[in-house]
Each structure stands twice: as C-alpha cells, then as structure tokens.
C-alpha cells in the first residue's frame, strides 16, 4: 500500500517545477529533502492548478513567517476521518460528541475580564478563550463547562495544564470522556492528572499544518505514526533522536515530497532499518516527539542545551513554567503560581535550571497570572527570541542527500 500511494504522489510532484531537481526515479533516501524555506520562497512552484475548490491554511509561524498552504478536499476528508478514527480508539464517536475547545481561539479583547469567556460555535461546539483562563476567572469557566457538559475537550497542552491545576485545587466536579491534545509538547505526568481530575482518557495527537505526518498516544511513551495518512522517514541525527522527513499522500493541490518537518522523534538508539520501517508504518510504537530541531538553548560558544523542559520536574507551587531565551547569556523563567507557591518554588526552579545550564547564564524570574502566549495562541514550554537556523545548514550525514 505504501508503494502504491507513493507512486501516486510521485506522479503529482513530477508535474511541478519545484521538484525539477529531484531525480524521482532514484530511491527516496537518495533524493533531496524539501525545506520550508524553498516552499516559502517559491510557493507557486509546489502547487498545482485546478478548477475544483480548495482550502487555504497556514502554519502557526512559531519559527518565522507563516507558511501559506493549499489543501484539496480529499486531504480535508482524510484529516477528519483520521481524527474521528483516533477518538474512536478511546471509545468516543467524535461526530456526535459535545466538544469544548480550549486552544488559541480569539474570543474577545484580552483586557476584557468580564464573562463570558466563550462562544457557542454550534449546538455541539463551545469555544473557550485560553487567554482569559486564570485563577480569578476559573469559576466562570467551571460553571459554563458544567452547563454545557462536553464529552470531549480539545486543548493545547499548556491550556490543559493550567485548567487541570485550577480544577485540582477546587476539587472540581467537571468531567469529560476524552481530552484530545495537540500542537504543543505534553508534559510528563499530565495524562495521570487528567484521569484523576476529570475522569478522562487523554489522547495526545502529533500533526502539523502541512498534513504530511501524524502520530498519537493513549498511553505515556507509546506513540504510533498513522499510516496511510502520510509516509514517514526517520533519519538519526544523534543517538536516539530521529528527524522526521515526511511525504503527503492525499493533497494533490500541494503535494509535499520528502518534506523536512523540523521535528524530532525519540526512538531506540541505533534502530535497525526494519525497526525504523515498522515504526514509520505505525506497526511498532516509539517514545514520543521531542519537539522542533530549534528547541534548544544556545550558548555563547555555540553549544546547545536540549533538556531544559525538565526544569519544573518535581517542583510544587507552579501551575505553568516556561523558559524564554532573551539572549545568548540571559534566560527568563515565566512562572504561573498556584496555591502551593512559595519562595522554595523559585529556589528549586533556579536549582534545576543550573543543573543543566552554566552559571554564566543570567536567570530572571517572572510571575504571571497566565502563561506567555505567542501570536497564534500557543504557550510552548520553550521560547527563543534568537534566530536558530543552525540546523538548516545541511542534511544529516546519514541522509546522503541535499536539501532543496
């Protein structure tokens, strides 16, 4: 099936000028890799024309200017069918379910702190404002959730983390059947907290606006790629860290071939070719998605720190902790306190930070009522103001193919 679907996509891309440098007759691993920059700068060269209607989309723009995308109706259908299929794995018929959204939707002026902090999108859909979720406004959120009684909550992990923390403090009666998270990294231990607090299963979904690869997990450390949603290649960049290169199988309007997602999957070190194929096809599981290749703290000497997301581990008193790199020698820890917050919370965060980072890095601490959000509404655990394009210099030596 993979070979048949790839042959169809190969036929689509062969007609587009953007792929003129690709020798599509050669094995995939020997062909170039498509980078976001080429897609951004020469968008028309990677799109086909059609009289059929199409949908327009864009990436979130967390790493630069948003990438403009075009999607066919078949691609849209496949996307919804896949999400419905994943929800069914958790015992929920998503098309019939009552769904609450707690993501990046703009509901009202962030300065307006009077309810409502939501809008009814349809009889079965209620959209909440993550920007207004804080301790002072939580009672209004809880009251509306009890009124609406959603079966499913679709949330950014950061918004879910804050909602869970506020609900735990108040022994909230709010319940869901399923919580579906996506678009950000899911922090360790969140699945157990959601089960305990809301009585819900948690399905974490990895995807992207380009719709070339997807994965999901219903249990910690048990992610599976979804095939035939897309075709995934895994290229080891360092021990246990594999770059995700993916090819779309359903979007004829803008077929993406060997597209570099910039994302990293965590797999066993030195996995065999057979193991990689089984994981890429969703037969075997893998540990998870670490994040983007640019999600590291860059030091003045050019070295990088990858695991600073572990700074809040084991620290009580903080609902949300984010790390922002202001410069090569300055970091800011953004902390949303909860009722257990104390000076000891900050002491432990400082201690954990300097277990990973050298003392030459100045650390600032900033207390906020709600997390720092990007323009797209996301509140990632790591944010950098630096231009981090070092990972785009060249393809991995193991890849043996040039970027486009």
Instruction: Provide the 3-class DSSP secondary structure of residue 363.
Output: strand
In a domain, 40, yes or no: yes
Together in a domain, 320 and 265: no
Q: What is the pLDDT of residues 107-133, one digit of tens each?
A: 888 789 999 999 999 999 999 999 899
C-alpha–C-alpha distance, residues 79 and 182, integer Å = 14
Together in a domain, 221 and 311: no
| Structural domains counted in the chain | 2
Of 94-108, 218-232, 295-309, which gets the smallest average pLDDT? 295-309
Per-residue confidence (pLDDT) for residue 293, from 0 to 100: 52
- Indicate the helix (H) or strand (E) that contains 197: helix 190-198
The residues, ordered by sequence, that sit 6+ positions from 325 with a Cβ below 8 Å of its Cβ are 297, 298, 331, 332, 382, 383, 384, 385, 386
The residue count of the chain comes to 404
Together in a domain, 352 and 242: no
Whether the predicted pLDDT of 396 surpasses 60:
no
* Mean pLDDT, residues 43-71 taken together: 75
The residues, ordered by sequence, that sit 6+ positions from 393 with a Cβ below 8 Å of its Cβ are none
* Mean pLDDT, residues 216-226 taken together: 94
Q: What is the pLDDT of residues 9-39, one digit of tens each?
A: 999 999 999 999 899 999 999 999 999 888 8
- Work out the pLDDT band at 404, boundaries 50, 70, 90: low
Other residues' Cβ atoms within 10 Å of the Cβ of residue 331: 21
- Indicate the helix (H) or strand (E) that contains 34: none
In a domain, 22, yes or no: yes
Whether the predicted pLDDT of 307 surpasses 70:
no
- Work out the pLDDT band at 401, boundaries 50, 70, 90: very low
Per-residue confidence (pLDDT) for residue 37, from 0 to 100: 85
Q: What is the pLDDT of residues 337-393, one digit of tens each?
A: 988 899 999 999 999 999 888 899 999 999 999 888 887 677 888 888 774 444 333
Per-residue confidence (pLDDT) for residue 65, from 0 to 100: 54
Whether the predicted pLDDT of 51 surpasses 90:
no
**Which domain covers residue 380, as residue numbers?**
297-384
400 dihedral zone (left: phi>0; alpha: psi -120 to 50; beta): left
φ, ψ of residue 308 in degrees (nearest 5): -70, -10
Together in a domain, 370 and 254: no
- Work out the pLDDT band at 150, boundaries 50, 70, 90: very high
C-alpha–C-alpha distance, residues 371 and 313, integer Å = 17
Report pTM: 0.81
How far apart, in Å, are the Cα atoms of 239 and each of 242, 267, 271, 389? 8, 9, 10, 21
Neighbouring C-alpha atoms within 13 Å toward the C-beta of 394: 6
Whether the predicted pLDDT of 252 surpasses 60:
yes
C-alpha–C-alpha distance, residues 206 and 45, integer Å = 28
Together in a domain, 303 and 323: yes
- Token pair 């000497």: residue: 301
Of 89-103, 134-148, 191-205, 331-345, which gets the smallest average pLDDT? 331-345
Together in a domain, 312 and 262: no
101, 91, 90: which is closest to 124 by C-alpha? 101
Together in a domain, 197 and 244: yes
Together in a domain, 54 and 177: yes
Is 54:197 a contact under the CB 8 Å cutoff?
no
Together in a domain, 45 and 26: yes
For 247-307, the DSSP string reads: EESS-SSS--SSEEEEEEEE--TT--HHHHHHHHTTSS-BSEEEEETT-SEEPTTS-EE--
Per-residue confidence (pLDDT) for residue 292, from 0 to 100: 60
In a domain, 251, yes or no: yes
Q: Which two tokens stand for residue 229?
A: 């949603």
- Work out the pLDDT band at 399, boundaries 50, 70, 90: very low
In a domain, 191, yes or no: yes
Residue 42 sits in a domain of what CATH number?
Answer: 3.40.50.12780
Of 231, 261, 294, the residue at which a domain comes to its end is: 294
Query: 360 versus 63: which is more confidently predicted?
Result: 360
The residues, ordered by sequence, that sit 6+ positions from 224 with a Cβ below 8 Å of its Cβ are 215, 216, 217, 282, 284, 285, 286
Residue 305 sits in a domain of what CATH number?
Answer: 3.30.300.30
> Mean pLDDT of all residues in the chain?
87
Q: Which two tokens stand for residue 147?
A: 């009124």
Together in a domain, 301 and 290: no
Together in a domain, 191 and 243: yes
C-alpha–C-alpha distance, residues 297 and 304, integer Å = 5
C-alpha–C-alpha distance, residues 336 and 135, integer Å = 10
Per-residue confidence (pLDDT) for residue 115, from 0 to 100: 95
Whether the predicted pLDDT of 182 surpasses 70:
yes
Together in a domain, 289 and 311: no
Please report, rounded to a whole number, the percentage of residues in the chain having pLDDT higher than 90.
61
Query: 397 versus 144: which is more confidently predicted?
Result: 144
In a domain, 174, yes or no: yes
Whether the predicted pLDDT of 93 surpasses 50:
yes
Per-residue confidence (pLDDT) for residue 393, from 0 to 100: 39
In a domain, 248, yes or no: yes
Per-residue confidence (pLDDT) for residue 295, from 0 to 100: 65
Per-residue confidence (pLDDT) for residue 66, from 0 to 100: 65
């Amino acid at each position: 099936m993979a070979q048949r679907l790839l042959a169809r996509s190969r036929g689509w891309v062969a007609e587009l000028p953007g792929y003129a440098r690709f020798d599509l007759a050669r094995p995939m691993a020997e062909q170039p890799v498509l980078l976001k920059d080429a897609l951004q700068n020469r968008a028309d060269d990677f799109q086909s024309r059609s009289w059929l209607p199409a949908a327009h989309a864009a990436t979130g723009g967390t790493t630069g200017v948003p990438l403009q995308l075009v999607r066919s109706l078949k691609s849209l259908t496949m996307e919804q069918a896949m999400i419905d299929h994943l929800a069914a794995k958790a015992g929920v018929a998503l098309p019939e379910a009552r769904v609450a959204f707690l993501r990046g939707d703009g509901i009202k002026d962030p300065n307006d702190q009077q309810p409502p902090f939501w809008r009814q999108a349809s009889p079965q859909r209620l959209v909440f404002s993550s920007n207004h979720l804080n301790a002072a406004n939580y009672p209004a959120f809880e009251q509306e959730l009890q009124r609406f009684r959603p079966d499913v909550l679709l949330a950014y992990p950061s918004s879910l983390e804050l909602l869970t923390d506020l609900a735990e403090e108040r022994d909230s009666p709010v319940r869901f059947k399923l919580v579906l998270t996506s678009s950000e990294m899911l922090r360790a231990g969140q699945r157990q907290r959601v089960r305990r607090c809301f009585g819900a299963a948690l399905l974490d979904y990895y995807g992207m606006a380009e719709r070339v690869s997807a994965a999901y997990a219903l249990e910690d450390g048990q992610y599976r790629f979804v095939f035939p949603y897309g075709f995934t290649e895994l290229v080891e960049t360092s021990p246990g860290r594999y770059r995700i290169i993916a090819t779309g199988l359903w979007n004829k309007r803008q077929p993406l071939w060997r597209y570099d997602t910039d994302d990293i999957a965590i797999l066993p070190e030195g996995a065999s070719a057979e193991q990689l194929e089984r994981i890429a096809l969703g037969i075997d599981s893998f540990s998870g998605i670490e994040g983007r290749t640019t999600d590291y703290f860059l030091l003045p000497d050019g070295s990088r720190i990858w695991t600073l997301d572990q700074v809040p581990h084991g620290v009580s008193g903080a609902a949300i902790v984010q790390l922002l790199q202001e410069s090569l020698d300055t970091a800011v820890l953004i902390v949303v306190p909860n009722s257990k917050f104390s000076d000891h919370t900050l002491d432990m965060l400082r201690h954990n930070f300097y277990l990973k980072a050298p003392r030459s890095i100045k650390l600032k601490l900033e207390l906020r009522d709600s997390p720092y959000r990007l323009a797209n509404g996301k509140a990632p655990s790591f944010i950098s103001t630096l231009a981090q394009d070092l990972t785009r210099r060249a393809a991995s030596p193991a890849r043996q193919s040039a970027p486009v």
